[in-house]
Amino acid sequence: KPQVSSENIQITSFGQQIKVTGSLTNQNSFPLAGVKVMAIFFNSFEKPIGASLTEIDNIAPGESQPFSISHPSLSELKSEATKIFVFAQK
């Protein structure tokens, strides 16, 4: 399974949008294509209330790439409970 790390995750709400930003680093000796990053948003009861996905086309070995995920605003959002999942294949 390819190794990808996520760093500098930030969640911001502004207007009618939630934005999740950060960076991914390919920790492998081979390039990765079509890396998917998913954010799942939770409320204060730890119940999922939304999800959004983005895809990064290519990440070279050892390279870091920024990502950004947008989602419509959620009134019940507990931002610190947001979970990030990364899906990568060779």
- pTM for the complete prediction? 0.89
Superfamily of the domain at 4-87: Immunoglobulins (2.60.40.10)
Task: Say whether pLDDT at 90 is over 80.
Answer: no
pLDDT, residue 31, reads 96
For the stretch 3-33, pLDDT in tens is 999 999 999 988 899 999 999 999 999 999 9
Cβ density class 53-76: b for 16+ within 10 Å, e for less: eeebeebeeeeebebebebeeeee
